[in-house]
Amino acid sequence: MTVTTWTQATEAGDVTVIEITFPRMRVQLLSLGAAIREVDVPDRDGNLGGVHLALPTVADHAVRALNPHLGATLGRYANRIAGGAFSLDGVEYPLDVNNGPNTLHGGSLGWDRLIWHVDGISDEAGAATIRFSLTSPDGDMGFPGTVSARTTYVVSDGRIEMRYEATTDAPTVISMANHAYWNLAGSDSIAGHELHVPADRKLTYDEFQIPTGIVDVDGTPYDMRESSALAPILEATGGLDDCYLLDGVEGQVRLGAVLSHPGTGRVLRVLTDAPGMQVYSGNNLRSPFDVHQSMSLETQRMPDAPNQPTLGPCVLRPGERYSTTTLLEFTTSST
């Protein structure tokens, strides 16, 4: 294993690039958004290939019009908050509105658009640990409280572990997530992929993609409790952008999804302790990418939970610590 770092000037400022290389895997991280930029893993024949969407240059990732949160850490709140506002302890907080009438992924300058501090890089026991930190001030995009956040990547051969932590000096809401864009074939479409999501239920939505309820997936195109070919699902639904309620005990790491590509044999397993997972099939991707070129599997708290407490907890108070872990495991199948 080798770890290489360098600095790239961008319009957002100087970005630290960290590259971890194994004989059978390569991962590139950016301090901009504490993000995954590139991942190369082998197919069933041992040929390394890129499986994550990336823009041509690091500098391109700082151009907001080009970068749809590629591989980045989302915050202060992943997914949508209805009406760009929420109430907490009797106080209403108007937020930055950047998605129709809603706030998406923390606002137009969410944490994915900011340069995080690189706290340390260590290399031991066959793994590289990279620690990023960010201080989000009180009033950042309208959110209350000064939040100290940390994203930690532990990268080993065939595995990426992502740990998120945060504390606050005043009551606030928080949901951190990673917005990776996976294509295990390195192709222009995920139609040839298969997806397994072992969840019985998903959210329903209004026209602005705000949750309106919870339904069983049984008998619907959204049922992927058995590994399912994506081509007919994309045709039946027009594309996925749906949050699944993951079975099992929240706070315990369990399987969230398995994405596979039969042609190359590549398999990605996502394990998490988060309560939900947004499954997004790249419906709104624009040039230089293609619509439905990727699959995002965003482990997170429920969208709009700040306005809908029945969807689960999302409040962080002084003296508490928010933490969540997601694991990405890359393997190959012989058939």
Residue with tokens 């994550």: 52
- pLDDT attached to residue 248: 85
Give the integer Cα–Cα distance in Å for 331 and 335: 12
Give the integer Cα–Cα distance in Å for 116 and 29: 12
Give the count of beta carbons closer than 10 Å to the beta carbon of residue 79: 28
Q: In this structure, what token pair is assigned to residue 82?
A: 């209805």
Q: Look up residue 145 and give its amino acid.
A: G
The CA-to-CA distance between both ends of the chain, in Å, stands at 29
- pLDDT attached to residue 250: 76
Q: Alpha carbon of 224 to those of 93, 192, 196, 229, 255: distances in Å?
A: 37, 15, 5, 9, 13
Comparing CA positions, the residue from 243, 112, 90 lying closest to residue 171 is 90
- pLDDT attached to residue 70: 98
Q: Say which DSSP state 235 is in.
A: H
Sort strands 211-216 and 254-261 into parallel, antiparallel or unpaired: unpaired
Comparing CA positions, the residue from 234, 274, 235 lying closest to residue 257 is 274
Task: Identify any residues that bridge with 161 across adjacent strands, giving them in sequence order.
Answer: 154, 327
Q: Domain 2-332 falls in which CATH fold? A: Beta-galactosidase; Chain A, domain 5 (2.70.98)
Residue with tokens 């992929």: 193
- pLDDT attached to residue 142: 98
Comparing CA positions, the residue from 198, 248, 204 lying closest to residue 226 is 198
Comparing CA positions, the residue from 148, 162, 118 lying closest to residue 320 is 148
- Tell how far CA 267 is from the center of its chain: 18
What is the phi/psi pair of residue 76, to 5°?
-75, -20
Q: Say which DSSP state 52 is in.
A: B
- pLDDT attached to residue 249: 79
Q: Which phi-psi region, left, alpha or beta, contains residue 158 (left: φ > 0; alpha: ψ -120 to 50)?
A: left
Comparing CA positions, the residue from 328, 182, 330, 188 lying closest to residue 265 is 330
- pLDDT attached to residue 124: 87
Return per-residue pLDDT of the chain as tens, 335 residues. Answer: 999 999 999 999 999 999 999 999 999 999 999 999 999 999 999 999 999 999 999 999 999 999 999 999 999 999 999 999 999 999 999 999 999 999 999 999 999 999 999 999 999 889 999 999 999 999 999 999 999 999 999 999 999 999 999 999 999 999 999 999 999 999 999 999 999 999 999 999 999 999 999 999 999 999 999 999 999 999 999 999 999 999 887 789 999 999 999 999 999 999 999 999 999 999 999 999 999 999 999 999 999 999 999 999 999 999 999 999 999 999 999 87
What is the phi/psi pair of residue 190, to 5°?
-100, 10
Active site residues: 179, 298
Q: Look up residue 282 and give its amino acid.
A: G
Report pTM.
0.96
Three-state DSSP class for 310? Answer: helix
